Structure 1
Amino acid sequence: MSEGSNKVILKGYGDLDKGKYYIEHALAELFGIDDKVAKKLLEASAENARTVKTNVDSNTAERYLKALKKTGAIGEVVDTRYDFSSLSLE
């Protein structure tokens, strides 16, 4: 993956054995936000993935993903070099 061609997305709760409260609290600490905001973010991202970081190199993206997974949340790194979602045939 090339320089600045990745984004990290949050996809909601992951390891529910850890407990939702603990995942919410760990995510709140990671982002420096209130626990209630973290809960809403996790619930919303479970339905529609939320972008956490854009235009990062692969090493940085992997560090963000590792930090998300450590909280118990689900994340994903997306290579945006070939993102054609904004194109239209109209």
Structure 2
Amino acid sequence: MRTKTGTFVPKTGTNVHLEADAADYRTAIAAALRDELGLTHRAVKTAMRWTGASERTVKYWIAGERGPSGEHLIALARHSDIVFHMVLLLADRHDGADAE
């Protein structure tokens, strides 16, 4: 049996705690999608049509298990006023935290 060889990057340095921010983001976007679309299969299909994302991906977003990134977030914000406002609120909240 052959062992896997190669290089690895050691885990050193400063720990940055982004998990809380990521959870807040996922929860906020999920709430916005549920408010805008509801929890039906039609809601999933609508978000799929807006973004081009897969059904499983959209279900993760609505459940708050994962959050949309990049082009998907922009597409959601383009089609949903609630998502758009949520993104602005999240950006404003984090901008205020940087000023402290």
TM-score (norm 1): 0.44
Judging by fraction of residues, say which structure has more helix: 2
Judging by fraction of residues, say which structure has more strand: 1
Highest relative contact order (Cα 8 Å, sep 6+), 1 or 2? 1
Larger Rg: 2
